[in-house]
């Protein structure tokens, strides 16, 4: 698939209508919107789709409860509407999830009860369910294992949950279904101009190093935390445009939060919201908000972030996880539009669209839940800037690739494939000697056939692509992913017809990356729970 795309790009002489640089949530959403209007659309991504921030979120399709407390009603209202549309257009990927906010004082019960009722009402016809106050006993039933000392009750509300990387792959496949083209491991290394105006990019294929030109009427920079780097290619560095914030998550065994209800901590010591969420048979805890200067492809959890998460887990679960219980630790970077004197935790998650004098269009900021609206707004602007035919967006009710209302799949993970599941399962019968129906690892829900499917149908090129984003093995259990990696390398090498030398290099590269997802408790803090209570009460 990828080789054919590269050949066609090399032969292409007519300019594309829209060229999107960046294969995360904003770039994929923009490309899908452009293709939905009938514009000839190409998306290039220098790594893999959703390699960065877009595979490292808290997995929530939500309006943002804390933005409501900040009175950013416009963002909350837009995000709640988009949350409902995500569920409606991709029910195989997005689902309703019940949350409980525990209350440790009688004052917080009516306070959060009222706020979450407003949150529910703002979603209107797209509401996922009613919120209501729970007794102390019902709160403990919903959140077994939660700290019971001082608990007064709780507030139950509804929000959406999804798997971000799988949603990104569905957007990539949807773009293809609409006649658009997407390719990974192709980087924009320069801009093409005529008369000071952008007419395309110079691109480099990372797999063979070949450079070529891609011409387009509209070039959109949707490269997330790397947006300033693309702007610098235009001679306009825009230094200081973004304030980058890091968010870190722990993945713990399901036993930390048995059941199917999520925990929402409404106010931590730094004023953030913190979640503990059931996710693919594990418990996901996060996130932090730490300002950072760098923009590494593989951000690492800082000691203060690990300490912060440890402290709050101990506070609300009455025990600190043992190092071996922390299955995976991973971090993502948020591209926030800078505002003087405002902390990253207080910066708006609204998106921003900039148009440079050259005609380069930059989309930055925003959040996963509003990806569709971000794409719509960007293409509306691109039609004006590049004088494209003015056509309305078609994504409001666009069903994403794999759309399926119901699935007979026994496993929660397999429902992510939607209508593709039957074709995926047929791969198991291709070669009985390779046991393609077998699990990749006893502690993971993923099967060997998914490696083949990822390479054939989802443009997976490396062991990391498969174990980090086509499946979520690395994010769920880093040690299990490392143990499964040799089998994945064997399957991928055969499917992609790679050499043994390539297999050795790719496997070594993955193991190096994966070691960064293992927990190291040497910097863990042991702040007493009583001190945390005092800080949060203050």
pLDDT digits (tens, 9 = 90+) for 193-246: 999 999 999 999 999 999 999 999 999 999 999 999 999 999 865 667 888 999
Please state which of the ranges 98-112, 333-347, 385-399, 440-454 shows the lowest mean pLDDT. Answer: 333-347
Residues with Cβ < 8 Å from 54, sequence gap 6 or more? 24, 25, 28, 164, 165, 168, 224, 368
Highest mean pLDDT among 101-105, 270-274, 443-447: 443-447
pTM: 0.93
Region of 362 on the Ramachandran plot (φ > 0 left; ψ -120 to 50 alpha; else beta): beta
The number of CA neighbours under 13 Å toward the Cβ of 446 is: 29
pLDDT at 340 over 60: no
Same structural domain for residues 436 and 498?
yes
Same structural domain for residues 152 and 253?
yes
Give residue 524's pLDDT. Answer: 39
Is there a domain that residue 407 lies in? Answer: no
pLDDT at 149 over 60: yes
Give residue 525's pLDDT. Answer: 39
Is there a domain that residue 41 lies in? Answer: yes
141-158: average pLDDT: 93
Percent above pLDDT 70 for the chain: 93
- By CB atoms closer than 10 A (0-12, 13-18, 19+), residue 336 is buried
**Residue 524 to residue 263: CA distance in whole angstroms:** 23
**Number of residues written out for the chain:** 538
Same structural domain for residues 78 and 139?
yes
Give residue 275's pLDDT. Answer: 95
Contact 373, 78 (CB under 8 A): yes
Same structural domain for residues 170 and 156?
no
Instruction: Take residue 195 and report the two structure tokens written for it.
Output: 């008369």
pLDDT at 341 over 60: no
Tokens 């004023």 correspond to 271
Give residue 273's pLDDT. Answer: 84
pLDDT at 24 over 50: yes
How many domains does the chain fold into?
A: 3
Residues with Cβ < 8 Å from 132, sequence gap 6 or more? 113, 155, 156
CATH code, domain with 293: 3.30.9.10
Same structural domain for residues 79 and 14?
no
In 3D space, the residue among 47, 521, 175, 111 whose CA is nearest the CA of residue 322 turns out to be: 521
Percent above pLDDT 90 for the chain: 75
In 3D space, the residue among 310, 329, 325 whose CA is nearest the CA of residue 529 turns out to be: 310
Same structural domain for residues 142 and 209?
no
CATH code, domain with 184: 3.50.50.60
Is there a domain that residue 405 lies in? Answer: no
Tens digit of pLDDT for each residue in 486-505? 999 999 999 999 999 999 99
182: which strand partners? 43
Mean pLDDT over the full length of the chain: 90
- State the greatest distance between any 2 C-alpha atoms of the chain, in Å, as a whole number: 71
Same structural domain for residues 309 and 350?
no
Grade residue 11 by pLDDT with cuts at 50, 70 and 90: confident
Same structural domain for residues 78 and 193?
no
In 3D space, the residue among 34, 25, 9 whose CA is nearest the CA of residue 217 turns out to be: 34
pLDDT at 383 over 90: yes
Give residue 345's pLDDT. Answer: 53
In 3D space, the residue among 302, 303, 316, 310 whose CA is nearest the CA of residue 267 turns out to be: 316
**Residue 278 to residue 251: CA distance in whole angstroms:** 10
Alpha helices in 192-291 (DSSP H): 227-233
Is there a domain that residue 538 lies in? Answer: no
**Residue 352 to residue 175: CA distance in whole angstroms:** 23
Same structural domain for residues 107 and 223?
no
Contact 167, 23 (CB under 8 A): no
Alpha helices in 158-226 (DSSP H): 164-177
* Domain extent for 117: 65-160+245-331
Same structural domain for residues 301 and 377?
no
């Amino acid at each position: 698939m990828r080789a054919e795309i590269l050949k066609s790009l090399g032969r292409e002489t007519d300019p594309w209508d829209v060229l999107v640089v960046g294969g995360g949530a904003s770039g994929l959403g923009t490309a899908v919107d452009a293709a939905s209007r009938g514009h000839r659309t190409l998306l290039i991504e220098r790594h893999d789709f959703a390699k960065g921030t877009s595979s490292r979120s808290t997995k929530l399709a939500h309006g943002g409860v804390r933005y409501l407390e900040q009175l950013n009603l416009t963002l909350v209202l837009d995000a709640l509407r988009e949350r409902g549309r995500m569920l409606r257009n991709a029910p195989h990927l997005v689902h309703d999830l019940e949350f409980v906010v525990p209350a440790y004082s009688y004052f917080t019960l009516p306070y959060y009860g009222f706020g979450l009722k407003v949150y529910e009402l703002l979603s209107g016809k797209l509401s996922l369910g009613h919120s209501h106050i729970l007794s102390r006993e019902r709160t403990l039933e919903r959140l077994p294992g939660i700290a019971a000392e001082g608990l007064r009750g709780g507030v139950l509300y509804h929000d959406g949950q999804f798997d971000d990387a799988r949603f990104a792959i569905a957007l990539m496949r949807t773009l293809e279904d609409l006649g658009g083209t997407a390719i990974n491991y192709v980087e924009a290394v320069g801009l093409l101009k005529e008369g000071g105006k952008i007419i395309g990019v110079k691109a480099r294929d990372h797999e063979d190093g070949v450079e070529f030109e891609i011409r387009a009427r509209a070039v959109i920079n949707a490269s997330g935390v790397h947006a300033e780097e693309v702007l610098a290619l235009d001679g306009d560095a825009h230094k200081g445009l973004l304030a980058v914030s890091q968010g870190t998550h722990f993945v713990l065994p399901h036993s930390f939060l048995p059941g199917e209800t999520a925990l929402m901590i409404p106010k931590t010591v730094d004023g953030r919201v913190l979640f503990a969420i059931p996710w693919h048979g594990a418990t996901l805890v996060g996130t932090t908000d730490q300002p950072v200067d760098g923009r590494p492809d593989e951000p690492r959890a800082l000691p203060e972030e690990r300490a912060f998460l440890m402290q709050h887990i101990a506070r609300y679960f009455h025990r600190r996880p043992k190092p071996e219980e922390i299955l995976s630790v991973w971090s993502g970077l948020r591209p926030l539009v800078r505002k003087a004197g405002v902390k990253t935790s207080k910066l708006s998650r609204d998106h921003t669209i900039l148009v440079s004098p050259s005609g380069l269009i930059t989309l930055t900021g925003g959040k996963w839940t509003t990806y569709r609206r971000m794409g719509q707004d960007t293409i509306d602007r691109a039609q004006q800037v590049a004088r494209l035919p003015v056509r309305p967006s078609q994504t409001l009710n666009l069903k994403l690739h794999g759309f399926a209302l119901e699935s007979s799949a026994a496993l929660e993970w397999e429902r992510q494939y939607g209508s593709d599941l039957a074709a995926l399962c047929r791969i198991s019968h291709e070669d009985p000697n390779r046991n393609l129906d077998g699990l990749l690892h006893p502690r993971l829900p993923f099967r060997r056939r998914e490696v083949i499917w990822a390479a054939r149908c989802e443009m997976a090129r490396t062991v990391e692509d498969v174990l980090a984003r086509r499946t979520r093995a690395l994010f769920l259990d880093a040690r299990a992913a490392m143990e499964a990696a040799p089998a994945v390398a064997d399957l991928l090498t055969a499917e992609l017809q790679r050499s043994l030398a390539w297999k050795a290099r790719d496997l070594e590269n993955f193991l190096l990356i994966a070691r960064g997802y293992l927990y190291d408790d040497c910097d863990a803090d042991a702040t007493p729970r009583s001190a945390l209570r005092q800080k949060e009460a203050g």
